[in-house]
Amino acid sequence: MAEFTMELNDEQKEVRDWLHGFAADVIRPAAAEWDEREETPWPVIQEAAKVGIYSLDFYAQQYFDPTGLGIPMAMEELFWGDAGIALSIVGTGLAAVGVLANGTEEQIGTWIPQMYGDTNDVKVAAFCSSEPDAGSDVASMRTRAVYDEAKDEWVINGTKTWATNGGIANVHVVVASVDPELGSKGHASFIVPPGTPGLAQGQKFKKHGIRASHTAEVILDNVRVPGSCLLGGKEKLDERLARAREKAAKGGERVKNAAMATFEASRPAVGAMAVGTARAAYEVALDYAKTREQFGRPIIDNQGVAFQLADMRTQIDAARLLVWRASWMAVNGKPFTAAEGSMSKLFASETAKKVTAQAIQILGGNGYTREYPVERMHRDSAIYTIFEGTSEIQRLVIARTLSGMPIR
């Protein structure tokens, strides 16, 4: 087990500096354009693929970093560049985590490479869990997967929403109910291979922030996938369902479902994204406060401004500490006995909203215009308190974990 440390080693520092350079030289100059266009920034993803950032190898190296700091360090630097473009680059990772968390070795080796494509033909993947009537309330999921034993196929019907890369993805990972009576414990995850009949993109959403990232509905109309596309395999699913039925009959403990396993693994990474956006806004505000003069002196000479910046930096560093702790715990197999993953995501996402709002205030009228990036950063930051579990859901998870009570 790697010891927990706040000091990056030489190799990690080298990767951090490399990512920071890409974010500064490639992502940031393109940020405003793709935010206005509200389109997937394929040229930037292509550049990321060429240098090795958008690749299975890079993602795996960071994911399996024994210190746990590889992923949060990478996310912070990329999202420091721009949240919308960065999400287009890393959005495939959520689907990849879904396969890593629930799939067999064969499924991991078969499908994750197809999610990324290659440097000459980049692809993206989508993780499809939320539905029009089932966001935080995953137990209300209506998408159904029914096993056709004669053909060894699963037939999937339903509508997914808020899917990053939904409809444009090469590979879709879809969470569906296989036993509605078990609620969220009756869910399973499926690979929908490229070109599968019956899968179509629905509405593409025009969003407040992260506008360079494609978000859309995914319609599944009698989508048939081979039995081998059930993540983890049918034997494992049948065993899990049997345990869930037995515990439900006894009123026993809850069993984690496939979607929750994915979100649990990714929440600290979302926290790191928020830290990157907050840090970017803080740095803009700090530089502005040092150079902007009012009443004959830089505005940072005023306590009202200086104290805000002090609070901003303190909150950012505290958020990073929580994210790194949770990431280290996850990689080293330490259970989140106090919901540390949710803590990290909750505090970091709320910090990003607060810090970006303070940055606008420090810049005054300039901060409210699109001539300065803090306006975009503030719009982008709103998503962190919403996706992959709202702040309210994080508080619920934390409260239930700490109390052991079914708080509602």
Which conformational region is residue 131 in: left (phi greater than 0), alpha (psi within -120 to 50 degrees), or beta? beta
- Residue 103 CA: distances (Å) to CA of 65, 68, 306, 308: 20, 21, 50, 46
Helix, coil or strand: residue 39: coil
- Among this protein's residues, is 388 annotated catalytic? yes
Range list of β-strands (E), 119-214? 121-122, 125-128, 144-148, 153-164, 171-177, 187-192, 199-204
Instruction: Please give the single-letter amino acid code of residue 313.
Output: R
Q: How many C-alpha atoms does 222 have within 13 Å on its Cβ side?
A: 0
Residue whose C-alpha is closest to residue 112's, from 152, 171, 54, 155: 171
- Measure the CA–CA gap between 26 and 281, rounded to whole angstroms: 18
Instruction: Please give the single-letter amino acid code of residue 171.
Output: V
| Active-site position among 131, 340, 350, 388 | 388
Task: Name beta bridge partners: 177.
Answer: 144, 187
Q: Annotated catalytic sites, by residue?
A: 388
